[in-house]
Amino acid sequence: MPTVQILRYPWVARTARRAPKADFFDETFRAMRVLPIDCDFNLHINNGRYLSIMDLGRIDHATRTGWWATFRARGWNPVATGVTIRFRRELRIGARYRLYTKLAGWDERWFFFEQRFERADGSLAARAYVKAAVLDKGRRPVAPREVVAELGADPTSPQLPNGITTWQQIDAG
């Protein structure tokens, strides 16, 4: 993995600690720029790089909402278990954009996040849904209701967006 990419993770975690705190369901964002290392031969973000950049948005969200501190205290580890993404408009080399991240909800087994890439003009570049689990020290899943209760929030999930429920129905079929 290139050094620039390796350094992005601690940089995001450190800057997120100094950013304004966010509530459990707040949407957070990171202002970013397309780096040469993010690009393919067409000089826009490589489709696989979107997933790595989305990790950064979830690190920022988890840090600012207090999730990360709780995970560390409990020895829990969040892991992405599935992603669906739809590309709308390209993000070219050097372009500024914002990556928005929010918790959409959960079911008995998974957490679901929505992440959006918006170009500087506010137009949607890509939207993704991420399915994630939280694992304990023994690498066993922790029920989302338990995680949410530990975070001091209402253990009742909001209604999941249609895009997520459709995705899960297709995934189960």
Q: What is the pLDDT along the chain (173 residues), one digit of tens a residue?
A: 555 556 777 777 778 888 888 888 899 999 999 999 999 999 999 999 999 999 999 999 999 999 999 999 999 999 999 999 999 999 999 999 999 999 999 999 999 999 999 999 999 999 999 999 999 999 999 999 999 999 888 888 999 999 999 999 988 87
| Cβ count within 10 A of residue 68 | 20
30 φ, ψ to 5°?
-125, 130
Exposure on the CB side of residue 62, measured as CA atoms within 13 A: 24
Domains of the chain, CATH where assigned:
3-172 (3.10.129.10)
Residue 49's identity, in one-letter code, is R
pTM for this entry: 0.91
Token look-up 């967006």 returns 161
Query: What single-letter amino acid sits at 169?
Result: Q
Determine the pLDDT at residue 90: 97
R_g of the chain, CA atoms, integer Å: 16
pLDDT score for 2:
53
